[in-house]
A = this chain, B = another copy of it.
């Protein structure tokens, strides 16, 4: 089961046993006022800067998101994608909840992108998946639907199954789907991370698909978030996540270490190289 993503030049392979692929945390204006203001003012350069910053800290796939109040995503998203692809060779993740903006961005994208995302809602499935099929893209499938996010891992599996089946009916192969079992906040609900981990295990066992995970929510409201996020990712990667969405600056080192432990880095060469690079930087 191998997911292949392509940028203007770079190709990324996501598969069990291969090194973990880092999807850079989205360039997302939500809650980032200055960025939103710049985008509203038509300044898309900011998206390019953020993309380059993610590459710099070691992200393998760059998420592009221009969603904010007052931003015309249908006009802005394709321009942002083009601009980022001028300077970034790696594959992009096109991150929007607006199908029209997604269609416009897919049209200009060079390569094979990751669509972020589809979920289990009927309306969403029927609007997003045909675009994914038409453009031969890969897609992130979120384990949530009209009823929200269930705290029953079997229910999350059920939604993952539905997404995989609907995709199949449109000719999208299973290897082009990255399931996200969704991580909620443990400080709000002690069982939240366990539900996610159980869902990941179920999805891995039954569907065998590659998986992503936006993990940083898990530690919200707690001290030493970086520690919690790294440990949670370690467990999630062991359970089957192989392309998490992360702040690479914060957790890349931990993920390289996990790859050593899981036998995905022969002689720890990547790990040691990264360590030496960090030592030099001081």
Chain A contacts to B: CB under 8 angstroms: 186-187, 190-191, 193-194, 197, 218, 222-224, 227-228, 230-232, 234-235, 238-239, 253-254, 257-258, 260-263, 265-268, 271-272, 275
Given contacts A222-B260, A228-B257, contact A238 B197 (CB under 8 A): yes
Asked if B238 and A186 make an inter-chain contact with CB atoms under 8 angstroms apart, the answer reads no
Listed A/B pairs (20) with beta-carbon separation below 8 Å: A186-B260, A186-B268, A190-B260, A190-B266, A190-B268, A193-B261, A193-B262, A193-B263, A194-B261, A222-B272, A223-B272, A223-B275, A230-B231, A231-B231, A231-B234, A231-B257, A231-B258, A231-B261, A232-B261, A235-B238
Given the complex, which residues of B lie within 8 Å of A197, measured CB to CB?
238
Asked if A194 and B234 make an inter-chain contact with CB atoms under 8 angstroms apart, the answer reads no
The 5 closest A-B pairs by CB, nearest first: A231-B234, A193-B261, A190-B263, A223-B275, A235-B238
Question: Told that A224-B275, A231-B254 touch, could you supply 20 new A-B pairs with CB distance under 8 A?
Answer: A186-B263, A186-B268, A190-B265, A190-B267, A194-B262, A194-B263, A197-B238, A218-B261, A222-B260, A222-B271, A222-B272, A223-B271, A223-B272, A224-B253, A224-B257, A228-B257, A228-B261, A230-B231, A231-B231, A234-B235
Copies per complex of this chain:
2
Given the complex, which residues of B lie within 8 Å of A260, measured CB to CB?
186, 190, 222, 228
Asked if B227 and A254 make an inter-chain contact with CB atoms under 8 angstroms apart, the answer reads yes
Closest to A271 in B: B222
Given the complex, which residues of B lie within 8 Å of A263, measured CB to CB?
186, 190-191, 193-194
Cross-chain contact of A222 among B230, B266, B268 (Cβ < 8 A):
B268
Given the complex, which residues of B lie within 8 Å of A275, measured CB to CB?
223-224
Interface centre among A187, A194, A262 (most CB of B within 10 A): A262
Asked if B187 and A268 make an inter-chain contact with CB atoms under 8 angstroms apart, the answer reads yes
Nearest Cβ in chain B — how far from A201, in angstroms? 10
Given the complex, which residues of B lie within 8 Å of A268, measured CB to CB?
186-187, 190, 222
Given contacts A187-B268, A227-B254, A266-B190, contact A261 B238 (CB under 8 A): no
Closest to A227 in B: B257
